[in-house]
Structure 1
Amino acid sequence: MQLYALGLNHHTAPLDIRERVAFQPERLDDALHDLTDAQRVREAAILSTCNRTELYFATEQPQLAADWLARFHRLPLADVSPYLYTYPQRDAIRHVFRVASGLDSMVLGEPQILGQVKDAVKRAEEAGTMGTLLHKLFQNTFAVAKEVRSTTAIGANTVSMAAAAVHLSERIFERISDQRVLFIGAGEMIELCAAHFAGANPKQIAVANRTEERAQVLASRFGAEVMRLDVIGEMLPRFDIVVSCTASPLPIVGLGMVERAVKARRHKPVVMVDLAVPRDIEAEVGGLDDVFLYTVDDLAQVVDAGIESRQQAVIEAEEIIDSRVDGFLHWMHSRDAVPTIRALRHHAESLRAAEVERAARLLAKGEDPQKVLDALSHGLINKLMHGPTRFLNQSDGEQQADANRLVQKLFNLNSH
């Protein structure tokens, strides 16, 4: 039985494709049962987040998984297959270790993914689709993620514009969880920022976009509200953090709008992050006393400061993961010997039982106990040595030298 990982994520598939293969929580149990009952898959777990849908499973027929995924979602396989990846055994183990450690996340090093993996494992356990192999895999996965998090600086430094936006906001506000965040726009950069800020559990998230449908898609991922662009001026005083990135040729947030908002907020500070080029927020806004306005250039300075240390952390994390992959593969290979070990012990036990039974009969007849013990030990040795001795005697030519070395190693013998 081999381990595999199959899926797609934000690296390989656009949002509209990821949405089509995402598993709703209420259908996850049915999916797990369907996958394992009908597809010759022995064990399975499904990880489904806003950024990835992945199957981790044990089978001898991995090609069935892609067919099943498309069929379960009632999609033509041709629609999803260009975005899918399939990792066999070693690559699958390494992949799940990297995912749980935050190395494959949209937000490098983010800790939320580990909780999502744990939730996926819990659902698979409750559904009864976890076996020995996946249990051991995920036990190792959680241990690796903990080691990466505790021994490297993978989550300590800012290496993206989105992370920098959070970092700069945290300079002004003690806790993001107490603040209200407004995102203006619904493109890729806003999506990244939303993922970062959502990880800090703000009090409220809202998305304003020219196309309300696109705003709704993004908002649904983060439990956010949706508003129209034309009400931003009216609603602006409610928000402590504003992040904007649109393709508008003219500013969306003007000086007068922000002046009115600051007055309504009674001069409570507000952080404004303008990631657009050309700018969404008039530059003069930065001159207001209670407004902390950051541009792309400001964020770039924060990013540059974190890149070097994060790169070293990634190298260290990858080394840890590679080492733990080797360890898990060694455990898997050792499991292949279990049936032979059991058969060998059963064989030895049957020989022992036969000799003990024979000795008991002799003792019952009144035979000398010392002679009976000697006979028992000699009989047991002869029977145990019969197999290896016969193996050596029947070997010839080049096979004999190999047989000699094998038996010497097996019984830890000195060749001299």
Structure 2
Amino acid sequence: MIGVLGVKSNVKLEIREKLSIIQKHYDSCLESLKEVCDEVLILSTCNRTEVYFNTSKDYEEIILEIFDRLHWDKNYIKYTFHYENEKMVDHLMRVICGFDSLILGEDQILAQIKDAYEIALQSKSVKKDIQKLFQMAITCGKEFRFESKLYTIPVSSASIAVNEGRRMGARSFMVLGYGEVGSLACKYILSGSFDKLYIAVRNTSVVNIDDKRVEIIHFNERQNFYKDVDCIISCTSAPHIVVHSAELPEKKMVIYDLAVPRDVEESIGCMKNIQLYDIDRISLMNDENCHKREEIMNSNKYILDKYMQEFLDWQKIRDISPEIRKLKKCGEDVYRKRYKTFKNKKYTKDTDKLAEVLLKSTSNVYVNRAIEVLKEEQLKGRLDECLNIIQRIFYVGE
């Protein structure tokens, strides 16, 4: 059984935090999950936590074992969903194309799934069905975005935060963290009008932006610059709070917390002159392009169906792989036996005649057996089905 265990999207943020997996813990979590799953891949983003797996165990057993391995409270099982086989494949295709995102059609999920797949490959936690499925899903996601041209109307939590910050009059920004979301937020800030951008990172050498308005600061120095910014966008992978109320100046400011677990102390939302938006509130913000994206995406949904069917067909064909190998071995045995005869007799016989005899005997091996099977099936009253198969095999080109 291939399946997925995920956290429901309508669950409150404080619950999702308890069922999140920080990226730096991926490797250790995968190693632990590999002990209970034949294959496993973790997808954890600001809006979703999902574990894709392949197992011979039943649903109840594997779900409990995953919760144990991830040290999750089993009382929270009610906040999760589970899909198997075809429903799981359909779910993944919808996710990678942006149909299942809180921000419809958001353009980060494809890269996030690619990263999750690469981590699973490096950890050797995928090797069969899950590996093939994610290869096809990533190809599907790329084709879907190319054909639908969603890149012409990009949207993400980072873009919404930057656009909303600008709409509220922000001219100076601070971005905490420079991972995928942080770098994307910086990209959106740089693409528009602004006065100053501070980028707070633990390793300042990872950022290389040639713009006099941009200042790279060490993460531990961030509090010194809060007084100089109108908007903070926090998107670290820290497992704890990084923005505390006691550190903030008494000035008008808007803060967007894009992290799960949250980066920003919840009480900050009650501070005078400060507006705080967590990932759930950001996802609910009005997006004027939402309806346009929905129409475009629905018109290209056939791409998802195509790749889903391709994977299901691959699974069916893979089930007969042992028989295909047997057929190939039979063919190899027939060929080697006659080739050995040819080598032994090519200098003692007329080679043209010898080749004719050996070629005819090769075809007779299969033709004579087909005739015998045809007779047997006629006697059993199953001629039509057998004849159809034999015609498809032997009557090629007629």
Please, what TM-score do these two structures have when normalized by structure 1? 0.66
Correspondent of 1:179 among 173, 178, 191? 173
2:31 paired with 1:22: no
* Matched-pair contact (CA < 8 Å) for 2:6–2:51: yes
Question: C-alpha distance in 2, partners of 1:388/1:367?
Answer: 30
* Matched-pair contact (CA < 8 Å) for 1:363–1:372: yes
2:67 paired with 1:70: yes
Structure 1 residue 414, shift from structure 2 partner: 8.3
Structure 1 residue 351, shift from structure 2 partner: 0.8
2:66 paired with 1:81: no
Counterpart residue number, 1:6: 5
Question: C-alpha distance in 2, partners of 1:115/1:158?
Answer: 14
Q: Deviations over 1:101-125 (max 9, x none)?
A: 3322222222233332222222211
2:374 paired with 1:374: no
Q: Deviations over 1:55-105 (max 9, x none)?
A: 11222325233111221234453x132122222222222222222233222
Correspondent of 1:61 among 33, 57, 68? 57
Question: C-alpha distance in 1, partners of 2:81/2:238?
Answer: 26
Q: Deviations over 1:118-154 (max 9, x none)?
A: 2222221121112143333222222222223233254
- In structure 2, the CA distance between the partners of 1:161 and 1:26, relative to structure 1 (3 Å rule), is closer
Counterpart residue number, 1:236: 251
Map of 1:6-405 to 2, 5 A cutoff?
6-11=5-10, 13-37=11-35, 39=36, 41-63=37-59, 64-75=61-72, 77=74, 79-152=75-148, 154=150, 166-170=162-166, 179-180=173-174, 200-201=185-186, 203=198, 225-227=243-245, 234-236=249-251, 239=253, 241=254, 303=287, 305-364=288-347, 366-396=348-378, 397-405=380-388
Structure 1 residue 355, shift from structure 2 partner: 1.7
Counterpart residue number, 1:268: none
Question: C-alpha distance in 1, partners of 2:235/2:157?
Answer: 22
- In structure 2, the CA distance between the partners of 1:69 and 1:318, relative to structure 1 (3 Å rule), is same
Question: C-alpha distance in 2, partners of 1:253/1:43?
Answer: 50
Question: C-alpha distance in 1, partners of 2:166/2:40?
Answer: 40
User: Secondary structure of 1:6's match?
Assistant: strand
**Structure 1 vs Structure 2: percent identity of aligned residues?**
23
Question: C-alpha distance in 2, partners of 1:120/1:379?
Answer: 55
Counterpart residue number, 1:264: none
Counterpart residue number, 1:291: none
Q: Deviations over 1:29-72 (max 9, x none)?
A: 232223223x2x32211112332221112223252331112212
* Matched-pair contact (CA < 8 Å) for 1:10–1:51: yes
Q: Which has the higher helix share?
A: 1
User: Secondary structure of 1:179's match?
Assistant: strand
Question: C-alpha distance in 1, partners of 2:111/2:134?
Answer: 12
Counterpart residue number, 2:211: none
Structure 1 residue 173, shift from structure 2 partner: 7.9
Q: Which structure has the bigger radius of gyration?
A: 1
User: Secondary structure of 1:103's match?
Assistant: coil
- In structure 2, the CA distance between the partners of 1:156 and 1:71, relative to structure 1 (3 Å rule), is same
* Matched-pair contact (CA < 8 Å) for 2:40–2:51: yes
Structure 1 residue 392, shift from structure 2 partner: 0.7
For 2:19, the aligned partner's letter is V
* Matched-pair contact (CA < 8 Å) for 1:102–1:108: yes
User: Secondary structure of 1:50's match?
Assistant: coil
* Matched-pair contact (CA < 8 Å) for 1:9–1:51: no
Question: C-alpha distance in 1, partners of 2:56/2:314?
Answer: 19
- In structure 2, the CA distance between the partners of 1:317 and 1:86, relative to structure 1 (3 Å rule), is farther
Structure 1 residue 345, shift from structure 2 partner: 1.4
By relative contact order (CA 8 Å, sep 6+), the higher-ranking structure is 2
* Matched-pair contact (CA < 8 Å) for 1:98–1:321: yes
Q: Deviations over 1:145-193 (max 9, x none)?
A: 222323325465599999766435456889x8x61489xxxxxxxxxxx
* Matched-pair contact (CA < 8 Å) for 2:175–2:185: no
* Matched-pair contact (CA < 8 Å) for 1:8–1:83: yes
Question: C-alpha distance in 2, partners of 1:368/1:160?
Answer: 76
* Matched-pair contact (CA < 8 Å) for 2:5–2:52: yes
For 1:350, the aligned partner's letter is D
* Matched-pair contact (CA < 8 Å) for 1:154–1:317: no
Question: C-alpha distance in 2, partners of 1:323/1:222?
Answer: 42
* Matched-pair contact (CA < 8 Å) for 2:159–2:185: no
